[in-house]
Amino acid sequence: MSINDNDIILEIKDLKKHFAPHQSLTQTLTGKNRKVVRAVDGISFGIRRGEIFGLIGESGSGKTTTGKLVMKLIEPTSGSIVFNGEDVTVTDKERTHAYRRQVQMIFQDPYASMNPRFKIKDVLEEPLIIHKIQGDHNEHERMIIKALNEVKLNPPEEFMGRYPHMLSGGQRQRVATARTLILNPLMLVADEPVSMIDLSTRAEILHMMKDVQRDLGLTYLYITHDLSTARYFTDRIAVMYLGRIVELGPADMIIDDPKHPYTKALIDAVPEPKTGKVDIIKELPISGEIPSPANIPPGCRFHTRCPYAKPECSAEAEPELIDIGGGHFQACRRYKEI
Amino acid sequence: MDKILEVKNLRLYYHTSKGAVRALDDVSFDLYKGETLGLVGESGCGKTTTGVALIKMPSPPGRIEEGSHIIVDGRDIMPLPDRDIRKNVRWEQVAMVFQGAMNCLTPVYTIGKQMLETLQEHRQMDKVQAEELIKEYLGLVGLPTEVMGRYPHELSGGMKQRIVIATALFLKPKLVILDEPTTALDVIVQAQIINLLKKLKKTFDLSFIFITHDLSLEAEVSDRICVMYAGKIAELGTNQQIYGDQGPMHPYTEKLLQATPLLRKKVDTLSYIPGTPPDLIDPPKGCRFHPRCHKVIDKCRTEEPPLLEVEPGHMVACWRCGS
Amino acid sequence: MSMKDFGYRLGEFWADFSKEKSGLIGLGILLLSVIVVLMEPVFLPYKDVNGNWRDITYWEDNPPAAPPAWTNLFAREKSAITARLDKPVITEEEDPELGMVRIYSFKYPYHYDKSPLDIILRAKGSGMLFMNLSLERPDGNTIFLGQVYQSDLNDDQVRFAVDTDASSAVYEFIRGHASEDAIANSDSSTIKPTNILFAKIGEDMLSARNALKGDYYYRVKVPMSLLENEENKISDLKLVVTGRVSGVLGTDTAKRDLYSGIVAGLKWALFIGLVTSVISVLIGVMYGIISAYFGGFTDTFMSFIFEIFVSIPVLPVLIVLSAIFKPSIWIIIAALIVFSWVGPVKTVRSMALQIKEETYIEAAKALGSGKWRIILKHMAPLLLPYSFANMALSVPGTIVFEASLSLLGLGDPTIITWGQILHDAQSSGATLNGLWWWIVPPGLFIAIMGMTFAFLGFAMDKILHPKLRTR
């Protein structure tokens, strides 16, 4: 399915999510500054219809929170979400309910995302019941079988009567995918869908997801920390650091030619199944650990760990994404010098 | 090179009401002084079980079966009573960093107190001496001494893992078993920890057993690699033999490598292995991998292949890889 | 959900449920209880027990504090069992003293070692009534027991009890047979007539009890001359030989047949125990889930209300209530519910808080599930096993609580409950006097009722925890 550059199905503009955790009594009384956790701090990107868009980040980057914002499981602090041409930043109950039919989610833990007391049949019937899809239980059964066939769980009838704990991790993730498909959504948000699955089955699941996407014309937002699978699976990626996007562009371009120091550090750190590296102490110019999202460094938030940091990086305002051609954007003002 | 560990015919079965789960079924390998041996495989292959077996801590109803020998620095620890193991072997000669250990730090005590407890359990030291030693090791793993007064929830994952490593080292064991030490960490922190482990290994001339499911990580860490499947060793070879250009010999290892996505090379299709790991109560007859193997022949279905040396230092358990 | 779908789901549930033995046992006990309640008249030997529990005249003929009849199987000396004879043989004869008489003869075969406690004759009469009563023993002796003479009867009951009314007549009989010393040391008030009537003649009649076994004939003689007058009628002659043991479960000190009491109390146990436990546990569990799921202000407010309820002093409030309201079963149930619903709330709330964080709850939200669907379909089923455990424990509790309420005057005197039976046992010193049959059966049945719920709970648990299923 060819991707039209101008057909944007999901447009995120300057999206922010700040959490204000509970204060103790003394904090309220003394009026001390509340620690605000700026999990997502102003991100903007657009996903084209029919593409697989990867959101890469380590823990604390805000990628999971972004996923939840797109799913409308949490409300944004500011910014806008435009889906299919419609502003869905703030929606009433009815519109939110309808939104759920269009945007669905696959979770990381294939076992925990299903009620262990539901049979597979019940797991798959649930969305039909929630959205009051017409039909008696026979018609529902037909829809369930169709969804199971789509994710290649054969024979479907045999799986319907089983419980989640009787299935392998890969099979459960197929069921989770089937569950999202049964409502014919437009977009799927997948949060680390294969990280808890064995390596030998991982590719199988990703294959299945790619086939499903092609057959049904879906769009994916693929959230992960694993750059390697992201390269294999996605069309474009956005690299997040501490709540902001530092680099965005076609997957191959970003990985073969990274511009932002953080992206470079990330790529250098990933191990490879090649011989001859056992005695090598890897060069890691990056120092320290990721700061807490409650204490974001001023200026360019990466400057505390950046090997190329200069005084102006912390003094000046936060850098925005710079277009460097070919659909490649990055947020380091000094990129030409590094 | 001398051997720091010899494992011979290790069998560990879990005796459940449904039958004996043969988690480890006749596993044998050696570990030389100063080397890192990698145990790699997928869930259920027995790599973690091997780790706990080496310190004689199988979780009930698991039991190390008769006929197994675990020879640590020349002494078979199998016949030793638990008291002896506790006093002289565990943590003194063989230390283990468990999977998810960093999440097992007690939340109600400070780091300093927890490390002190372990140290004083094994050594007659007064508090001042012990604290000095702890500070030394915290420095070795790159942590400031003020960490001693902190609670686990105040620290990041990387810091906690360094503490766990320091705790494993301060009794100066000869062998450290590390079970998925970096799985829960971010990739940059993972690289930092791996660098740290390599430095410590050189400084103290340690021997490591590095257990992980991540083949790419194994390549960068282990001198020799042991690929496990369904409680048995499929292939055992040097880093070069497994990851080098001519590729591994066992079909399972071969497929596993093909299923590993590469970052720096564009891969069009990723391989996968159809099917699931076998039931260890009633494993398949013959070679345990045969139902999923792309090179299976009739002999594989009936006779179990022995682990044979196909070239110096390279052992394979496969009928298709004869010598 | 249409009827067809509902039937389908019920069928599915039944397919799962019927595989669980414990569930079937629980259901079986429940069904059995319901059948017994519905067919109460069939099971009750004393049909009118429900209205007459507190009417002592209804129980007149029973022995007090008598063990169950089947204890005879284990006793060396067999005690007489209560016999009811209501089909006398009617003959007409010439009597030397009374002229033409109609004789109503009751045959009583006696082969026990220990004599009955009493022989009671009842009759209904109108106009004038005259009866001559005698007992013919197997050894040929006929003992005159006494006479009944009453006039102006209007279909009224007439009663003659040997124990109370025949002592002097029996004393006369002894004087001819027992030893001089024994007679000297006693008088008509110290002897027990039935002991004598059924004992072999001998010098030691008064002390030793050698049972005279055989057929006894109790004869009621009514002069024909009386009956010829149409105004005088006599009918419904019944003889009750009160044994030392009685009934399936014996009697209490007030002579009430305990088996009837238990059977009659079953329906109230079911009603009070079941209804109260089910309603109060349901309220409590739902309260906990809602409080936990909605969180925030709702949670705070609900917890506040909960604290108030928990702090209410039960006893003083009940005493006040009993002063205001006329005691009835509905007040009792209401009171029980009001004070029991708070039980499961705290635990359920913390369990629900944990469940709320589970990924599949988030997944359900992502699918578009509304709050109530999540609460009812995802959270409540997990708490069902705990609810059943709670119900199992609270059923016996409510039954006994009801008995305490009776003590306070809030009990319903028109009904019989197991709790009341137990309560009476305690206040009559049943334990001190070794009246085990008064205590064990009610307690046992209360426990069985509780176990029924435990069994149902096990089955529900297995269905809701698929991993525990043995298939």
What confidence tens digit (pLDDT) does each residue in C218-275 have? 888 888 888 888 888 888 888 888 888 888 888 888 888 888 888 888 888 888 888 8
Give the C-alpha separation, A209 to A188, whole Å.
Answer: 10
- A126 contacts in chain C (CB < 8 Å): 364, 367, 369, 377
Q: At residue A221, what are phi and psi to the nearest 5 degrees?
A: -110, 110
Instruction: For residue B112, tell me if it sits in a domain.
Output: yes
Within 10 angstroms of residue B2's Cβ, the number of other Cβ atoms is: 8
Cβ contacts of B267 on chain A, cutoff 8 Å: 231-232
Contacts of C378 in chain A (CB under 8 A): 115
Phi, psi of A90 (to 5 degrees): -125, 120
Enumerate residues 6+ apart whose C-beta is below 8 A from C77.
Answer: C113, C114
Please state, in angstroms and rounded to a whole number, the distance separating the CA atoms of residues A228 and A255.
9
Domain for residue A29, yes or no?
no
Residues B182 and B238 in one domain: yes
The verdict on B137 and B167 lying in the same domain is yes
Contact B186 A225 (CB under 8 A): yes
Q: What is residue C377's DSSP assignment?
A: I
Same domain, B159 and B48: no
Q: Taking a C-beta distance cutoff of 8 angstroms, is the pair A72, A41 a contact?
A: no
Q: Could you tell me if residue A304 is inside a domain? A: yes
- Residues 149..168 of B with a Cβ closer than 8 Å to A: which? 156-159
What's the pLDDT score for residue B293?
Answer: 92
Euclidean distance between CA atoms B95 and B84, whole angstroms: 15
B191 shares its domain with B63 = yes
Q: Which domain holds residue A231?
A: 8-21+36-337
Tokens at B294, concatenated: 């792309």
- DSSP SS3 for C354: helix
Interface check for A167 against chain B (CB to CB < 8 A): the answer is no
Q: Which pLDDT score is estimated for C170?
A: 81
Which tens digit of pLDDT belongs to each residue from A175-199?
999 999 999 999 999 999 998 888 8
Residue C37 has pLDDT above 50, yes or no: yes
Beta bridge partners of C444: none
- Give me the number of domains chain A comprises: 1
Written as one string, the DSSP assignment of B233-273 is: EEEEEEHHHHHSTT--SSHHHHHHHHHSPPSSS--S-----
Q: Which of C47, C49, C71 is nearest to C440 (CA)?
A: C71
Instruction: State which of B128, B143, B171 marks the end of a domain.
Output: B171
pLDDT value of residue C178: 66
Q: What is the dihedral of CA B273, B278, B283, B286, to 10 degrees?
A: 0
Please check whether residues B20 and B166 belong to one and the same domain.
no
Number of domains in chain B: 2
Residue B106 DSSP SS3 = coil
Residue C402's contacts (CB-CB under 8 Å, 6 or more residues apart) are: C272, C332, C336, C411, C417, C419, C420
Report the CATH number that the domain containing residue A328 is assigned in CATH. Answer: 3.40.50.300
Do B47 and B183 belong to one domain?
Answer: yes
Give the residue from B161, B218, B270 with the most A CB atoms within 10 Å of its CB, the best one to mutate.
Answer: B270
In the predicted structure, residue C1 carries a pLDDT above the cut 50: no
Contacts of A229 in chain B (CB under 8 A): 261
Tell me which residue has tokens 């069998």: B11
For residue C403, give the H/E element and its range: helix C380-407
Encoding tokens for residue A168? 């392998």
Q: Do B219 and A273 touch (CB under 8 A)?
A: yes
State whether the Cα torsion B50-B52-B55-B57 is positive or negative: negative
Handedness of CA B76, B79, B82, B87 (dihedral sign): negative
CA–CA separation, B96 vs B72, rounded Å? Answer: 14
- Decide if B323 is inside a domain: no
Q: What is the CATH number of the domain that holds B225?
A: 3.40.50.300
Q: Which domains does chain C have, with CATH numbers?
A: 3-41+258-468 (1.10.3720.10), 73-242 (2.60.120)
d(CA C10, CA C32): 22
The 3-state DSSP composition of chain A as helix, strand, coil percent (nearest 5) reads 35, 20, 45
Q: Any idea which of A32-36, A41-45, B31-35, C307-311 has the lowest mean pLDDT?
A: A32-36
Say which amino acid occupies A31: G
The residue type found at C58 is Y
For residues A245 and A243, give the distance between their C-alpha atoms in angstroms, rounded to a whole number: 7
DSSP string, C328-349: -HHHHHHHHHHHHTTTTHHHHH
> Which chains would you list as touching A if contact means 3+ CB atom pairs under 8 Å?
B, C
Chain-centroid distance of CA B280 in Å reads: 20
- Let me know if chains C and A touch, i.e. at least 3 Cβ pairs under 8 angstroms: yes
pLDDT for the residue C167: 80
A294 at interface of B, judged by CB pairs closer than 8 A:
no
Give residues 1 to 40 of C whose Cβ lies within 8 Å of A. Answer: 2, 4-5, 8
Out of A93-107, C39-53, C407-421, give the one with best mean pLDDT.
A93-107
- Give the model's pLDDT for residue A51: 93
Residue B234 in domain = yes
The Cα–Cα gap between C333 and C330 comes to: 5
**Calpha distance C356→C451 (Å, rounded):** 31
Q: Is the pLDDT of residue A31 over 70?
A: no
pLDDT in tens, C365-406: 999 898 899 998 888 888 877 887 788 778 777 877 777 777
pLDDT tens for each residue of C442-459? 888 888 887 887 787 777
Q: Domain check: are B63 and B196 in the same one?
A: yes
Sorted by sequence, the CB contacts under 8 Å of residue B301 that are 6+ apart come out as B284, B285, B286, B287, B290
What's the pLDDT tens digit per position in C276-318? 888 999 999 999 999 999 988 999 999 999 999 999 888 788 7
Instruction: Tell me: do B194 and B295 sit in the same domain.
Output: yes
pLDDT (0 to 100) of residue C471: 33
The nearest alpha carbon in chain B to A60 belongs to: B186
pLDDT computed for residue A270 by the predictor: 92
Write the DSSP symbol of residue C275.
Answer: I
d(CA C439, CA C258): 10
Do residue B181 and residue B256 come from a single domain?
yes
Task: Please give the pLDDT value at position C400.
Answer: 74
* pLDDT for C301: 93
In whole angstroms, give the CA distance from residue A250 to residue A236.
4
Q: Identify whether B128 is part of a domain.
A: yes
How close A201 gets to chain B, by Cα (Å)?
Answer: 6
Residue B100 belongs to some domain of the structure: no
Tell me whether A210 touches chain B (CB under 8 Å): no
Same domain, B179 and B261: yes
A49 domain-assigned: yes
Could you tell me which chain B residue has the CA closest to the CA of A59?
Answer: B186
Q: Name the residue range of residue B49's domain.
A: 3-93+173-316
Q: What pLDDT does residue A25 have?
A: 65
pLDDT tier at C470 (50, 70, 90 boundaries)?
A: very low
Report if residue A30 sits inside a domain: no
Q: Does residue C371 sit at the A interface (CB-CB below 8 Å)?
A: no
- Judge whether residue A32 has pLDDT over 70: no
- With contact defined as beta carbons under 8 Å apart, do A323 and A329 qualify? yes
User: Each residue's pLDDT tens digit in chain B (323 positions)?
Assistant: 688 999 999 999 999 888 889 999 999 999 999 999 999 998 889 899 999 999 898 888 888 998 999 999 888 999 999 888 888 888 889 999 988 888 888 889 999 999 998 888 888 888 898 999 999 999 989 899 899 999 998 888 889 999 999 999 988 899 999 999 988 888 888 999 999 999 999 888 899 999 999 999 999 999 999 999 999 999 999 999 999 988 899 999 999 998 888 888 877 778 888 888 888 888 888 899 999 999 889 989 998 999 999 999 899 999 988 64
Q: Where are the alpha helices (DSSP H) in C109-166?
A: 162-165
- The predicted structure's pLDDT at residue C422: 83
The length of chain A, given as a count of residues: 338
With a cut of 70, say whether residue A98 has pLDDT above it. yes
Residue A105, in any domain of the structure: yes
**The domain boundary residue, chosen from B155, B171, B187:** B171
Q: Does A296 fall in a domain?
A: yes
β-sheet bridge partners, residue C123: C158
Do B166 and B218 share a domain, yes or no? no
Cβ-nearest to C368 among A97, A114, A137 = A97
- Residue C365: list chain A partners with CB under 8 A: 73
Domain endpoint, select from B135, B152, B171: B171
Using CB atoms, list chains with 3+ pairs below 8 Å to chain C. Answer: A
Sign of the alpha-carbon dihedral angle for B124, B125, B130, B133: negative
In a domain, A104, yes or no: yes
Inter-chain CB proximity B270 and A286 less than 8 Å: no
Residues of A with CB under 8 A from a CB of C: 71, 73, 96-97, 100-101, 104-105, 107, 109, 112-117, 126-127, 129-131, 136-137, 163, 165, 176, 179
Residue A101 to residue C378, Cβ atoms within 8 A:
no
Residue from C404, C443, C266, C293 nearest C354 by CA = C293
Q: Do A273 and B199 touch (CB under 8 A)?
A: no
On whether residue A3 sits in a domain, the answer given is: no
Q: From A61, which residue of chain B is nearest by alpha-carbon distance? A: B186
- Whether the pLDDT of residue A80 is over 90: the answer is yes
Measured distance CA(B143)–CA(C31) in Å, rounded? 70
* Residue B290: how many other CB atoms lie within 10 Å: 23
